[in-house]
Amino acid sequence: MIRNELDAADIHDSRLREAYRRCRRINAAHGRTFFLATRLLAPDQRPPVHALYGFARYADDILDAVDPGLGMDVRAQRLQELSDRFFAGAAQPDHPVLTAVRHTARRYDIDTELFEDFLTSMRMDLTVTDYPNRDALNGYMRGSAEAIGLQVLPILGTVVPVAEAAPYAAALGRAFQLTNFIRDVDEDLARDRVYLPADELAADGVDRDLLMWCHRNRCTDNRVRNALAAQHAITRKTYRFAAAGIALLAPRSRPCVATALTLYSEILDCIEDDDFEVFSHRATVGQARRLRVAGAGLIQAWRVRNGTRDVSGPAQSGAA
């Protein structure tokens, strides 16, 4: 399967092929919902999307997953080394993930500023543990979530000028991350982080001390429940805005994005159905449901690629 994808993407150099294979393995191992959605993309689109995921995961592992005993100074140094190596081009030997993502960035002419924004937000995670208001949180998400949505957009293709579709792509990335912030509030507290605007929490009488009480006691105080419900509503609104941009994508990309949006937004359903008990267990969409949604999307994607389904959108003026 991966050989077919690499051939379809016109990636024939053996070193590049192995680099993209590494990124695909990372995606399959760590991004279950995201990887499932990528199966709905055309074969030539999958390797570059895996490369972008691999790069994001590489940076995230420096922050959180690899050797949690490392000090922040060492993590900061490693992030800086990652940045230096990425922007240095082919001037030095590379990790396979960097080889693949740089190749993808060049091939699709992805603005290097988006990678700078991403790495800036990753550095913020080294020192910033709270966000006083929505503007501050949005500043973080501009690099950590919106930039990734914008990186993927040239691979997906659009039927309108890219600038017209960009706000919706950015919003979808933001919606995905806001979902994570609500679902993972307990896990983030264990890392001494709160990714919810402090002033909005305070409107319901919630502060870090109360969140830590919920974390220690594995239950959700009613004030926290009300605050999370308010964040839930904001995230729902963000999904509704992002959904309007699906019709602006190239037809072959719409089933994938629609499936990802459906599955991720259903995490919100699970959180609400659990009455916001995010401190006692992690909300997930069941495997059977994920497979049903992905299966329906796969059929639609096959029909689109084989010209048997009308997926008309705006008049075409960009790459499809």
Tens digits of residue pLDDT in 234-257: 999 999 999 999 999 999 999 999
- Per-residue pLDDT tens over the stretch 28-59: 998 877 888 898 999 999 999 999 999 999 99
Given pLDDT bands bounded at 50, 70 and 90, which one contains residue 286?
Answer: confident
Domains 1-111 and 128-303 share a fold: yes
Q: What is the mean pLDDT of the chain?
A: 91
In this prediction, residue 90 carries a pLDDT of: 56
* 249 SS3 class: strand
Choice between 240 and 65, residue whose per-residue pLDDT is larger = 240
Does pLDDT of 141 surpass 70? yes
67-77 average pLDDT score: 82
Residue ranges per structural domain of the chain: 1-111, 128-303
Instruction: Please tell me what DSSP assigns to residue 160.
Output: S
CA 84 – CA 279 distance, rounded (Å): 38
CA 214 to chain centre: 27
Beta-carbon contacts of residue 291 (< 8 Å; ≥ 6 apart) = none
Does pLDDT of 144 surpass 80? yes
CA 242 – CA 249 distance, rounded (Å): 12
Does pLDDT of 294 surpass 70? yes
Fold of the CATH domain 128-303 = Farnesyl Diphosphate Synthase (1.10.600)
- Per-residue pLDDT tens over the stretch 298-311: 788 878 888 754 44
Query: 45: number of CA atoms within 13 Å, CB side?
Result: 23
Is the C-alpha dihedral spanning 228, 29, 3, 92 positive or negative?
A: positive
- Per-residue pLDDT tens over the stretch 79-102: 999 999 999 865 555 789 999 999
CA 28 – CA 32 distance, rounded (Å): 6
Q: What CATH architecture does domain 1-111 belong to?
A: Orthogonal Bundle (1.10)
- Per-residue pLDDT tens over the stretch 176-224: 999 999 999 999 999 999 999 999 999 999 999 999 999 999 999 999 9
Does pLDDT of 317 surpass 50? no
